[in-house]
Amino acid sequence: MAPVPGAAARQERDPRPGLSGVEPGVLEAWFEGRGQPAYRARQVADAVWGGRAAATGEARTLPTALRAEVDAAFRFDTVAETDLQTADGGLTEKALHRLSDGALVESVLMHYPAKPGQRERHTLCISSQAGCAVGCPFCATGELGFTRDLETAEIVDQVRHAARRLAAHGRRLTNVVFMGMGEPLLNLDRVLAAVDALNDPRRFGLGARHITVSTSGVVPGMKRLTALGPQFTLAVSLHAARDALRDVLVPLNRRWPIAEVVGAAREHAKATSRRVSYEVTMIGGVNDTDADARAMAELLRGDHAHVNLIPMNPVAHTPWTASPMDVIERFEATLREAGIATTVRRNRGQEIGAACGQLAAERAGEPPAAAVARRRERLIDESAAALRGERSHEPVPTGVGD
């Protein structure tokens, strides 16, 4: 795969729609309008979703002239270039994708070998936005700020790239999680269209229960998902059970506080009968205290929920590090004693920039040292105030409180 240049200059986005984002009926109508039989749309779909083709020219069932017409009207792949890095003995693959306008997004493919009583799994974490407006300070994507929403095809083509790599070894993708760059529920229409394409047996054909959509707590979007009644898993990036601390760790908490977020998650679990997953990045001396564990136990006691405790990945420009494992295990024990299913997730791929957005942030270049120092000092002050129970007076990040 071609290497992705760092900090690529922005350019005009390719106006051609990506084929993976075009619904089957629309593609059929396009061929019909050109006097072509309906089966031509099926031939294109087979090439798009079959797992191995990487360009329109490889759709050999189409006549050469018709391939040229399709290529002029659509993009077979919305990803222009990809830089692939591996770690953990090949069990983790991190891809940095450059899109047609130079925007950079990431996906991570994680391989889990078979165990007694458990089949092998291949899970892909994908991005829904280039950058992110939420600005969680422990997240590398938050350092980048927000660039733009991804198109449906730009989301789905991350999956197709991973599927092609797996197909070369006779394997299939088993799970997709929307936990990469961006806040999925701030690009909800396109995320839902991507989920439809992934779930549709005529297209990618992945079962809904193998798809997880994450949110940092966009309550209107959560309520919309509940009203639609989808069967995929909802994951909530919780990170703290006390509003003062979550104001700092997840800034949109200033717009939708914990009670609203967890209330919306409970309604979703009730309506779909699907267990909600809560993600908690464990930050040493910040959100890993016994008081935090007790607060989370009380918050989630009796809920149809599962908590993932995740040691923080090292991220530049923050003063924080991961909680020690014995502290995380004590936190886990407190939740388990309250009857809450809890898992400690081990970090993977640290040598290749495992944190969400870390490769893209590195390619964007280092900010001035003085700016880094100010940011670190501010985070130290804000987290100290939060630990004293003081709510943040900072504004809600632009673009997330509407």
Q: Which positions are catalytic?
A: 106, 356
Rounded Cα distance between 184 and 178, Å, is: 7
Q: Are 268 and 234 in contact (CB under 8 A)?
A: yes
Q: What is the DSSP string of 183-206?
A: -GGGGHHHHHHHHHHHH-TTTT--
Burial 330-367 (b: 16+ CB within 10 A, else e): ebbebbeebebebeeeeebbeebbbbbbbbbbebbeee
Q: Which amino acid is at 228?
A: L
Cβ count near 375 (within 10 Å): 16
DSSP string, 283-319: BTTTT-SHHHHHHHHHHHTTSSEEEEEEEPPP-TT-S
Question: How would DSSP label each residue in 234-255?
Answer: EEEE---SSHHHHHHHSGGGGT
- Residues sharing a CB contact under 8 Å with residue 369, sequence separation 6 or more, in sequence order: none
| Phi, psi for residue 164 in degrees, rounded to 5 | -65, -40
Place of tokens 């407006």: 133
